[in-house]
Amino acid sequence: MIKIDEKGFYGKFGGAYIPEMLHPNIEELRENYEQIIATPEFQKEFRGLLKDFVGRPTPLYFASRLSEKYGAKIYLKREDLCHTGAHKVNNTVGQIIMAKKLGKKRIIAETGAGQHGVATATVCALMGMDCTIYMGAVDIQRQRPNVERMKILGAKVVPATSGSQTLKDATNEAMRQWINNPVDTHYIIGSVVGPHPYPEMVARFQSVISEEIKWQLKEKEGTENPDIVIACVGGGSNAAGAFFHYYNVPQVRLVAAEAAGLGVTSGKSAATTVLGTSGILHGSKTLLMQTEDGQVVEPHSISAGLDYPGIGPVHAHLFDIGRAEFVAVEDEDAMKAGIELSRTEGIIPAIETAHAIHALNLIEYSKDDIIVINLSGRGDKDLDTYIKWGGY
């Protein structure tokens, strides 16, 4: 059974390793979130916004040309069609309603590719809440359109200038600012990382993805269960959402595509399950890329959203017990897969998502297998990277 325990652990991974200054905030959330989510009032508002604001349910689309090419029945779960262009908004809608119920006035968040930042800025505008987004200075350069999007939506974007100046450092900075403003501020973490209860809470908000896959597949194929679900993993929120209702259905294979960067042995990689060992980052025990001395290693991926040295504790657990298969996809192969999907199905995917497409080349399946790929985001934000790469 994949289930979180009372102390916030999935097997060996998880927990809440946080400075005492954050204890009251985390306690407040831990004590209240399940109960708040369970109220009909919360569910009505959450479900209402997912339908009318986000545009859910997102289609489960049969990709016929891709299926023909690879020799399997391939469906794409179209999270790229969510408002703001990726699955991230499922979580921010849930968390902003939560923040309101907890009486918070101000929202902070970290962002890597900028998708979570945009999704957070969007729901803050929707609810009229003050919003500050922390983003690595390097990411601000490579994801310019999303930075401007956040500003148009009224958010303040603050560069994180320490370390590698990417997602890890933006998360450090957001945590520091939460310590500085503990009473009126809610921190919307964008992935299934961070101290308990964040990984589970974010996974539950994203679980709408697999909830929909089940009934949509039932309509199309007469079964709720595909043979394989594929998703990309940085921190792992879209994968957690796509896997959630299949964790405990053993006949459904779960495949997680990590970013190999320039290659797992190149020193420029973000393939955490290959290169990582157990450690503590951002408040939870998980698999982590680190030196022998326990210093966190700076990752590399062409996609800002996968450029993270850890993975969510639930994924570390899925890896540890062998419940999910992990594959590592190099920058070049991901870019090619992005072009391939563009030309076979008319969908330009986010580069993060393109890693999941390439996974089709790395796993075994037969032609009758039903494969669902979680198409977590669209490629508009990545045009600069596609153009610079130029291989099309």
Bridge partners for 117 per DSSP: none
Which one, 155 or 296, has the nearer CB to other proteins?
296
- Nearest approach in angstroms of CB 27 to other proteins is 9
Report the C-alpha gap between 126 and 153 in whole angstroms: 9
- On the 0-12 / 13-18 / 19+ scale of CB atoms within 10 A, 383 is exposed
376 a catalytic residue: yes
Give least dist CB 166 to other proteins, A: 12
* Catalytic position from the list 191, 269, 284, 376: 376
Q: Answer yes or no: are the C-beta atoms of 283 and 313 closer than 8 Å.
A: no
196 SS3 class: coil
77, 58, 79, 75: which is closest to 360 by C-alpha?
75
CB nearer other proteins, residue 3 or residue 7: 7
Q: CB-wise, 173 or 382, nearer to other proteins?
A: 173
Minimum CB distance to other proteins, residue 151 (Å): 24
Distances (CA, A) of 176 to 76, 168, 372: 38, 13, 39
Q: Which of the following is catalytic: 88, 104, 168, 285? A: 88
What is the token pair recorded at 135? 């983003």
DSSP symbol at 235: S
- Pick the catalytic residue: 79, 110, 325, 352? 110
CB 24 within 8 A of CB 291: no
Least separation, in Å, of the C-beta of 44 and other proteins?
32
Q: Note the helical H segments in 207-304.
A: 208-221, 237-243, 272-275
Query: What's the closest the beta carbon of residue 160 comes to other proteins, in angstroms?
Result: 11
Residue that is written with structure tokens 């803050």 in the block? 124
Q: What is the identity of the amino acid at 241?
A: G
Of the pair 153, 270, the CB lying nearest other proteins is at 270
CB 318 within 8 Å of CB 256? yes
Residues 355 and 329 sit within 8 Å (Cβ to Cβ): yes
Beta-bridge mates of residue 285: 14, 280
In the complex, the smallest distance separating the C-beta of residue 77 from other proteins, rounded to whole angstroms, is: 34
> Whose Cβ is closer to other proteins: residue 219's or residue 293's?
293
Alpha helices in 128-222 (DSSP H): 137-142, 144-152, 167-180, 198-206, 208-221
Residue 139, C-beta contacts closer than 8 angstroms, at least 6 positions apart: 111, 112, 113, 114, 165, 166, 167, 170, 304, 307
What Å distances lie between residue 323 and 34, 251, 254, CA to CA? 26, 10, 7
Q: Are the CB atoms for 234 and 308 separated by under 8 Å?
A: yes
Q: Which stretches of the chain bind other proteins, using CB under 8 A?
A: 7, 15-21, 23-25, 162-163, 168, 172, 175-176, 179-183, 277, 279-283, 288, 290, 292-296
- Which CB atom, from 16 or from 209, has the smaller least distance to other proteins? 16
The residue among 39 and 277 lying less far from other proteins, judged by its C-beta, is: 277
- CB 312 to other proteins: min, Å: 17
Residues known to be catalytic: 88, 110, 376
